[in-house]
Amino acid sequence: MTAALARIRRDVQGLHAYAVQDSTGLVKLDAMENPHGLPAALQAELGARLGAVALNRYPGDRVADLRAALTAYAAPPAGWSLMLGNGSDELISLVTLACAIPPSETANGQLPAVLAPEPGFVMYAFSAKLLGLRFVGVPLRPDDFQLDADAMCAAIAKEKPAIVHLAWPNNPTAGLWDEAAMRRVIAAVAEHGGIAVIDEAYQPFAGRSWIDSIRAEPQAHEHVLLLRTLSKFGLAGVRIGYLMGPAALVAEIDKLRPPYNISTLNAECALFALEHADVFAAQAAEVIAERTRLLAALRALPGVTAWDSDANMVLLRLAPDDAGALRAFQALRSAGVLVKNVSTMHASLTGCLRLTVGTADENTQLIAALSACLHKTP
């Protein structure tokens, strides 16, 4: 076995696999899923449709139908096209792979760089490192987790990155960054010949989309790709992501897409969901209302700092150190509530937990468990 393991790249052996927490028997508030399922009548209707899918055939026309339906739903600007991925993770990897130019072919003889604000979505750095690019993280402003446009532009000028990731809203900090700062950074990426990837995974809860800015100023966004997923829409188990951008740019990335990367069952589920988009919009509205209630309740607890959210999650600090955050995480778990301990993810997140906005009952249980944890005598 030792000889066989030696064939595995050393950098791969040094990586840590993406960890998924065991949620058996717990209120699951750790992964920013839509907490609402389909109504019973729609479950039955979807089941009948899935039962009629031709599973003996490779995916074909229905995947093309899904691409057309998502294009109509998202309404990208003229001259843009759309490609599908197995979740947004696959699309991040494909964009990164497309830019993995060998150092011998680069102007400076270095590996291309991928640049992103930190803390941010872990898959940006993971994909860059896995595919042989340099990852450069630029800290957000530590007080409000806003985009540090000066630092970002300076890093872009220095590194001339192939890709700059901008999550809007950001994970795990949950907020939308200042639009003027975004425009500065997007312009800097264009000036130095890079691709800006704007990740709108949490757009259903944000109330705004960068696609409006793209439509208003198409020439300023000829180097921009817009990434979305149906996971937060309400289909985390279906694994459908989509990438929109100028047709010529998307066509190059689409060459790397594995054939049949979207199953017929997944495509049928997504088409069904888009036909009932009003149901999912109502669910998103309920999550937003619960987010307001949850934030108010959290801010009423002693010693808690909770930042504004434009997503279906809340970032809060409730301890001055990582050990305190771990104790709170464990106490919540013991009370039957699973959240995400992000305190060791980045220096600016010391003492922080990330909470998914759940149903009204789930949020009430979370608030009660956290209150009990904070009032418990050491």
Confidence of residue 201 (pLDDT cuts 50, 70, 90): very high
pLDDT in tens, 305-339: 999 999 999 999 998 888 989 999 999 999 999 99
Is residue 215 located within the same domain as residue 84?
Answer: yes
**Do 75 and 136 have their domain in common?**
yes
CA distances from 180 to 44, 143, 147, 177, 371 (A): 47, 19, 10, 9, 38
For the chain, what is the radius of gyration of the CA atoms?
A: 21
Phi, psi of 135 (to 5 degrees): -105, 130
Q: Note the residue count of the chain.
A: 378
Q: In CATH, what number is assigned to the domain containing residue 356? A: 3.90.1150.10
Amino acid 50: pLDDT: 97
Q: Are residues 152 and 11 in the same domain?
A: no
Confidence band (pLDDT; 50, 70, 90) for 196? very high
Domain range enclosing 308: 2-30+278-375
Question: What is the pLDDT of the chain when averaged over all its residues?
Answer: 94
Q: Which of 255, 221, 196, 226 is nearest to 88 (CA)?
A: 226
**pLDDT above 70: residue 1:** no
Pick from 230, 260, 275: which residue ends a domain? 275
Same domain assignment for residues 161 and 261: yes
Q: Give pLDDT tens digits for 76-128.
A: 999 999 999 999 999 999 999 999 988 877 777 788 999 999 999 999 999 99
Residues 110 and 222 in one domain: yes
Question: pTM (2 decimals)?
Answer: 0.94
> What pLDDT score does 332 carry?
96
pLDDT at 377: 42
Residues 6+ apart with CB under 8 A from 360: 290, 293
pLDDT over 70 for what percent of the chain?
99
- Max Cα–Cα distance, the chain, nearest Å: 62
Name which of 266, 316, 231, 201 is nearest 55 in CA terms: 266
